Amino acid sequence: MIRFESVALSIRLYAATEEHPVRLHEIHGSRVEHRRFCKAENREIPYEQVGRGFALGDGRMVRLTDEDLAHLPLPTKRTVDVLGFVPFEDIDPISYGRPYYVGSGPGADRPYSLLVEALARTGYVAVSKVALCGRERLALLRPRHGMLILQTLLWQDELRDPGDLAPSTPVTDRELELAEVLIRELTGIDVGEVHDEYAHALEQLVDVKITGGELAGPVEAAASPDLMAALEESVRAAKRAHRRPSARPQP
């Protein structure tokens, strides 16, 4: 349910992404197993006997059951509670968490479409609170390709202060001009054509370990000692690449 002021519409949430990690196993001659061990009873216990608890300051544990959690007095449980609307560009991408597709629920097609179109026209997003995965999260609702996306956000206290990590060295006007030219020359990339090479590299490494061969290590780029020279050469290389004619079949 999406709720703001007197407006409410039923929705369904669906995972919008799926990761394909390459998993490496823990080994010590053979696979390492992780067992569940109860210190109080000094024995290993099966998974079905494992519960959940909240640790108090004095070390005691308060056991919480699924029924307890089902009655948690949380207003945002099963509800996306809209707090207000802000311009999309006001949300710093560093806060982005996981995206979910928002589908319309029974009888909600018209108000759902209205909210999508209104957000798309105004350029605003709805800042909300929602309970997901066992905790309350900040989130935003935004339009994308004719539907709503629920994007979870990190709370402000979850963002680390960078401190003095940013360099304070000034740059010259000429360096800045060349950097802007280089950015314009390299503008445009099809993200869909970029692929993860890690899995392929890992397969090569495993093959070499099995066959006893040798694998050439990655070539590490050295830092440019002369920034101006590096920028000028990069601009020239980018312009040459753009001027290179595409291959045409010979008659």
Name the residue type at position 171.
Answer: V
- 5: tokens are 């002021």
Write out pLDDT tens, residues 144-180: 999 999 999 999 999 999 888 888 888 888 888 888 8
- Strand 2-4 vs strand 80-87: parallel, antiparallel, or unpaired? parallel
Would you state the pLDDT for residue 86? 95
Phi, psi of 248 (to 5 degrees): -120, 145
CA nearest 85: which of 142, 131, 137?
142
Q: How buried is 132 (Cβ within 10 angstroms: 0-12 exposed, 13-18 middle, 19+ buried)?
A: middle
Q: How confident is the model at residue 63 (pLDDT cuts 50, 70, 90)?
A: confident
The distance of Cα 226 from the centroid of its chain, to the nearest Å, equals 36
Two tokens, residue 141: 């609702």
pLDDT class of 93 with cuts at 50, 70, 90? very high
Q: What residue has token string 């490494």?
A: 205
